[in-house]
Amino acid sequence: MKLVIIGGSGTIGSHVYKFFAKDHEVVLASRRSTSFPVDIAQSESIRSLFEKVGKVDAVICIAGEAKWASFDDLTETDFYIGIKSKMMGQVNLVKIAREYMNPEGSITLTTGILGERPVPMTTSAALVNGAIHSFVLAFKLDFPLGPRVNVVAPGLVEDAYEKYKDYFPGHVPVPMDKVVEAYNQSVLGSQHGELIRIYEP
């Protein structure tokens, strides 16, 4: 199987990359990559990536950003960071990647627990996460035969617990292997139009 993983060098992405690279051909793309650079906030960058990579069996996106700040401190421009990157970046990825998918292919997007259980300072992040959840549900209605599109929504992962624990009081971190298995389930399973939650250990 040939996969493209966008954002495979981050906390979650690096583990997902190592898992799939054991048994599959994996193209690792990111904004910092010199071999396969991509910025999902730019549609032309997404298309350029797939023109270079060619046909694929699966795409995993673990990329996208959103501004964290209190609502009063967020400007319209701040909101558009998440809308352009985390939201429309993933929507445009689906739109473009479809053209390069082999039959029975899959696309896995990434959000997080904030889409359903936001914490303070995450108005913008919660907004775009929730939008992607709804997008995946609606996409299946337009394309019931695929490609399969799912979204993985991790909670606070163990590897990032020390960095983010103050933002998530009372949250029990989820094991990274459980998060990785959710991506495996989306790629190799039969789910379509599903929100795969990993909120609990």
- Rounded CA-CA distance 113/168 in Å is 10
pTM value is 0.97
Domains and CATH numbers, the chain: 2-198 (3.40.50.720)
Residues contacting 188, CB < 8 A, separation 6+: none
Q: Can you read off the two tokens belonging to residue 116?
A: 């359903």
pLDDT (tens digit, 9 = 90+) per residue, 54-106?
Answer: 999 999 999 999 999 999 999 999 999 999 999 999 999 999 999 999 999 99
Residue pair 123/71 in contact (Cβ under 8 Å)? The answer is yes
Sheet with 2-6: strands ordered across: 25-29, 2-6, 56-61, 101-110, 148-154, 195-198
| C-alpha span between 22 and 25 (Å, rounded) | 8
Return the H-helix or E-strand segment holding 6: strand 2-6
At 175 the pLDDT is 97
Given a cut of 90, whether residue 133 has pLDDT beyond it is yes
Ranges of beta strands (E only) in 32-191 are 56-61, 101-110, 148-154
Q: What is the average pLDDT value for the chain, to the nearest integer?
A: 97
Show the CA angle centred on residue 6, arms to residues 196 and 113, nearest 5°.
Answer: 30
pLDDT of residue 91: 99
pLDDT tens per residue, range 138-172: 999 999 999 999 999 999 999 999 999 999 998 99
Whether residue 126 contacts residue 115, with contact meaning beta carbons closer than 8 Å, is answered with: yes
Q: Report d(CA 99, CA 114) in Å as an integer.
A: 31
What's the mean pLDDT in 160-188?
95
**How far apart are alpha carbons 134 and 74 in whole angstroms?**
23
Measured in whole angstroms, the distance separating CA 138 from the mean position of its chain's CA atoms is 17
- 88 backbone dihedrals φ, ψ, rounded to 5°: -70, -25
Residue 62 phi/psi, 5-degree rounding, is -125, 45
What is the pLDDT averaged over residues 27-53?
97
pLDDT above 90: residue 25:
yes
Percent of the chain at pLDDT exceeding 70 = 100
| SS3 call for 198 | strand
| pLDDT score, position 8 | 87
